Chain A
């Protein structure tokens, strides 16, 4: 019987195997890069909004507290986006003819809420609650970045599972005093590690490792 494979087939086989491995590596690398890049995560990408609302202007410029607009952040799972009336507490008198604000006036007149585009949006199979994080001393800017410097809001963190867990493993790196939670200018002090461990005790944060149990976030 004639030989099916010529001696050259050995080389082809080697190249083939090498190529396949290379392809897998290249594919994994590309996928991984894309997965962590802003294309997939939207981190750092300012989101277009129907009204170009600027936190930089209203928070850093005018000194309005987060809770003036995000009223339910303290006590609820949902931080809340301000209803049109909240904008109108000021804009009924200020910038009343500005074209930028036309959608706000229209919303008040027609009673149809403004449709804000979501910046941070977890998948529906994840359970998240603002209230507990605020009460245990995790600040807005730890998760949302320097909101007071954003002309248009962007997402500061991936909100991937890794990100949540990284903090739930050792929250002492991020925890701050409760009265600083809404302070957008807060910086970690140089002795954050000790200070953090003390706050964990003071606020009775669960340090038994239960915070990384699947059922905490997937209920």
Chain B
């Protein structure tokens, strides 16, 4: 009789040891799955699928082209905030190869990666912003596409920051606003 009363207690104690709740029958992101041949539970998206709200109708904004021609202007006004965002993204995704100043001698290049052209050569200084956007979106030569990791807004922000870098290499004292000029003059050795 005594043992019978203990039985539910034992069951409870044992139940507490079962790992059901630790590994529940659902998938966490990118979990393994043996059902599909590639072993992944996340399925590749069929080509031409359009995510909700992502019709990407704005050709200029999403491809940097208009009727197949590279756009000559940025699709939105460039503010200080956008430049700051562009700088941050550039330092994360681009500077390892292109270098923080855009000279094309980042750490990975120093370790043997084919050297990209400097952003300060004439051709790239004159190239339309659409080209910079297009390089990031579709890749260029040995450089892979960054579209999967950098959102379109950020790609434009990076393009704007590259423009700022290019300008910084050819700035004259006349380009500096008058109230800031004095500060620079004071720093002159």
Contacts and interface: CB of A to CB of B under 8 A. Distances in A.
Interface in B37-52: 37-40
Contacts of B96: 62-64, 68
Contact of A124 (B23, B39, B144): B23
A97 to B, nearest CB: 13
Nearest to A66: B92
Interface stretch (A32-40, A46-54, A83-91): A83-91
- Chain A interface extent, by class: 20 to 34
B108 A94 contact: yes
B22 interface: yes
B91 A65 contact: yes
Binding site secondary structure of chain B: loop
Interface centre among A64, A65, A89 (most CB of B within 10 A): A89
A199 B149 CA distance: 30
Given A62-B107, A90-B108, A92-B144, A125 B39 contact: no
A123 B21 contact: yes
B21 A125 contact: yes
Binding site secondary structure of chain A: loop
Contacts of A110: 38
Contacts of A93: 112-114, 142
Interface string B1-40: 0000000000000000000011110101110100001111
A124 B93 contact: no
A217 B106 CA distance: 42
A90 B110 CA distance: 12
Contact of B38 (A64, A83, A112): A112
A162 to B, nearest CB: 17
Contacts of A65: 91-93
A157 interface: no
Contact of A112 (B39, B112, B149): B39
B111 interface: yes
A92 B145 CA distance: 13
Contacts of B93: 65, 67-68
Contact of A88 (B22, B112, B144): B144
B148 interface: yes
Contacts of A192: none
A78 B108 CA distance: 28
Interface string A81-111: 1010110111011100000000000000011
A115 interface: yes
A71 interface: yes
Contacts of B32: 115
Contacts of A92: 142, 144
Given A63-B107, A65-B91, A94-B112, A125 B148 contact: no
A113 interface: yes
Contacts of A63: 96, 107
- Which 7 residue pairs of A and B lie closest in terms of their CB atoms, listed nearest first? A124-B24, A123-B22, A78-B29, A65-B92, A89-B144, A112-B38, A71-B149
Given A81-B30, A94-B108, 5 more contacts: A85-B148, A112-B38, A113-B40, A115-B32, A124-B26
